[in-house]
Structure 1
Amino acid sequence: MVLFLVSILTLLVLITVIKLHPFLALLITAIGIGVADGMSLSAIQLTITKGIGDTIGPLILVLGCGVMLGSILTETGATQRISSGLIKIFGKKYANVAIVITSLVVGIALFYNAGFIVLIPLVFTMVHQLDLPLTPLVISMAAPLSVTHGFLPPHPGPTTIAVIFNAPIGKTLLYGLIVAMPTLGVVGLIFPKFLKHIPANPPKGLFDSKDLPEEKLPGFGISFLTALCPVILMTLSVIFNNKSDFSPSIIHFFQFVGDAGNAMLISVLFSILTLGILQKNKISLLMNYAGSGLQAIASILLIIAAGGAMKEIFATTGIDKTIVGYLKDLPVSPLILGWLIATVIRIAIGSATIAGLTAAGIVAPMLQVSHVSPELMVLSIGAGSLMCSHLNDTGFWMFKEYVGLSIKDTFRSWTMMESLIGLLGIIFILILSVFVS
Structure 2
Amino acid sequence: MHTHPLLAVSQDAVSSGRLIPAALVGIALLVVLITRFKVNPFLSLTIGSFAVAMIAGLPIADAISSFTKGFGSTAAGVGILIALGAMFGKLLADSGGADEIVDTIVGRSSPRTLPWAMAVVGALIGLPMFFEIGLVLLVPVIFLVSRRSGLSLIRVGIPALAGLSVTHGLVPPHPGPLVAVDALKADLGLTLGLGVLIAIPTLVLAGPLFARYAARWVDVPAPELYETHANGNARRPGFPVTLATVLLPVVLMMGKALADIFAAEANLVRVVLDFLGTPLVALLIAVVVAMFTLGRGAGMDRQAIARSVEKSLPPIAGILLIVSAGGGFKQTLVDTGIGKLVADWVQNSGLSVLLLAWLIAVLIRLATGSATVATVTASGILAPLVTTLGTGQTALLVLAIGAGSLFFSHVNDAGFWLVKEYFGLSVGQTVKTWSLMETILSVAGLAFTLALSLFL
TM above 0.5, yes or no, is yes
Q: Supply the AA of the counterpart residue of 2:329.
A: M
- Alpha-carbon distance in 1 for matches of 2:111, 2:313: 31
1:128 to 112, 136, 140: 140
Provide the residue aligned with 1:424 in structure 2: 447
For residue 65 of structure 1, report the CA deviation from its aligned partner: 1.6
Alignment correspondent of 1:42: 61
TM-score, reference length from structure 2: 0.65
Aligned counterpart in structure 2 of residue 141 of structure 1, from 154, 158, 164: 164
State how far apart, in whole Å, the 1-side matches of 2:299 and 2:47 are.
50
Q: What SS class does the counterpart of residue 217 from structure 1 fall into?
A: coil
Once the two structures are overlaid, the 10-residue window that deviates more, 186-195 or 302-311, is 186-195
Tell me which amino acid in the other structure corresponds to 2:68: T
In the alignment, structure 1 residue 56 sits paired with structure 2 residue 68: no
Alignment of 1:336-415 (within 5 A): 337-343=352-358, 350=375, 359=385, 384-386=400-402, 388-389=404-405
**2:235 partner amino acid:** K
| Equivalent residues in 2 for 1:133-212, closer than 5 Å | 137-143=160-166, 146-147=169-170, 177=197, 182-189=201-208, 210-212=229-231
Match of 1:309 in 2: 328
Counterparts in 2 of 1:6 and 1:291: CA distance versus 1, 3 Å: same
Q: Is the 8 A contact 2:131 2:168 kept in 1?
A: no
- When the two structures are aligned, how many residues end up with a matched partner? 380
Aligned: 1:260 with 2:279:
yes
- Separation in 1 of the partners of 2:40 and 2:379? 27
Query: Which whole-Å CA distance do the structure 2 matches of 1:130 and 1:44 have between them?
Result: 48
Partner of 1:369: none
- What is the CA-CA distance between 1:413 and the residue it aligns to? 7.8
Quick one: distance in 2 between partners of 1:225 and 1:315? 41
3-state DSSP class of the match of 1:117? coil
Whole-Å separation in 2 of the counterparts to 1:217 and 1:267: 18
Tell me by how many angstroms 1:83 deviates: 0.9
Give CA deviations for 1:206-256 in whole Å, capped at 9, x if unaligned: xx9723479522221222222222223323333444443797444333322
Q: Return closer, same or farther for 1:147/1:16 CA change in 2, 3 Å cut-off.
A: closer
| Partner residue of 2:90 out of 62, 67, 71 | 71
CA apart distance, 1:140: 2.9
Aligned counterparts of 2:446 and 2:336: Cα–Cα separation in 1? 28
Write out per-residue CA displacement over residues 308-364 of structure 1, whole angstroms, 9 at most, x where no aligned residue: 11122122223344345455455xxx6x53444544676799556677775565578
Q: Could you tell me which residue of structure 2 aligns to residue 273 of structure 1?
A: 292
Structure 2 CA distance for aligned equivalents of residues 421 and 65 of structure 1: 30
One-letter code of the match for 1:424? A
- Contact residue 68 and residue 268 of structure 1 kept, 8 A: yes
- TM-score of the two chains, using structure 1 as the length reference: 0.67
Q: What is the identity, as a one-letter code, of the residue corresponding to 2:84?
A: C
- RMSD of the TM alignment (CA)? 5.0
Query: In 1, distance between residues paired with 2:330 and 2:159?
Result: 28
Q: Deviations over 1:7-29 (max 9, x none)?
A: 22212222233332221121111
User: Gaps spanning 5+ residues in structure 1: where?
Assistant: 108-113, 150-154, 163-168, 198-207, 365-373, 392-398
Change over 3 Å in CA distance of 1:235–1:423 after alignment to 2:
closer
Q: Which residue, out of 89, 108, 120, partners 2:108? A: 89
Judge which range, 138-147 or 275-284, deviates more: 138-147
Identity of aligned residues (%): 21
How many angstroms apart in 2 are the aligned matches of 1:267 and 1:412?
33
Q: Which moved more, 1:8-17 or 1:213-222?
A: 213-222
**Partner in structure 1 of residue 129 of structure 2:** 117
Code of the residue aligned with 2:310 in structure 1: it is: G
Separation in 2, partners of 1:135, 1:13: 31
